[in-house]
Amino acid sequence: MSLRIYTDGSCLGNPGPGGWAWAIPNGIRAAGADPTTTNQRMEITAALEALRSNPTDDLVIVSDSTYVVKCFTDRWWSGWHRRGWKNSQGKPVANRDLWEPMIEAALADHRRVGFEWVKGHSGDRWNDVVDELATTAARTQEDRPPGP
């Protein structure tokens, strides 16, 4: 059975101060901040931190970011590797510094990781929880280490 982890990123301005968060329903959660970032970077960071904080579990990352989810469900990462880290338009892949460790963590041989999209701001309880955590981190620029 896979552990479901909800993730979200937030940015107040784009670029601007940002925050990321992840939460295990009825379990631990974490959040962090970045003073100058983008929404896309915070979405990736949220999923990456969830993977890093739960390194041995089989996981399903639940995100409202199609950017994060489609990288895996549509195997964008495979094309990036094949094209030498160029996107389909031949330009360098944005946020490669985050994608590389995330892809490595998600594709590790010792576990299975799936990705699932959830519509943001649609009343999904746990998507709302991580949205609030990420927005608070962006606003306060305070980190929240893993805990209840």
Q: For position 2, what pLDDT does the model report?
A: 87
Q: For position 56, what pLDDT does the model report?
A: 83
CB distance 65 to 84 below 8 Å: no
In order of start, what are the domains of the chain with their CATH numbers? Answer: 3-147 (3.30.420.10)
DSSP 8-state assignment for residue 86: B
pLDDT in tens, 87-105: 999 999 999 999 999 999 9
Q: For position 55, what pLDDT does the model report?
A: 86
CA distances from 34 to 30, 53, 73, 109 (A): 14, 18, 27, 31
Q: For position 57, what pLDDT does the model report?
A: 83
Active site residues: 8-9, 43, 64, 121, 131
Helices (H) and strands (E) in the chain, counts: 5, 6
Q: Computed from CA positions of residues 70, 73, 77, 79, in that sequence, does the dihedral angle turn out positive or negative?
A: negative
CA distances from 112 to 4, 16, 138 (A): 12, 34, 30
Residue count (the chain): 148
Asked whether the whole model's pTM tops 0.85, one would answer: yes
Split the chain (148 residues) into runs of 10 and give each run's mean pLDDT: 94 96 97 98 98 91 98 96 95 98 94 96 95 98 94
Tracing tokens 């991580």 back to the chain, one arrives at 130
CB distance 92 to 37 below 8 Å: no
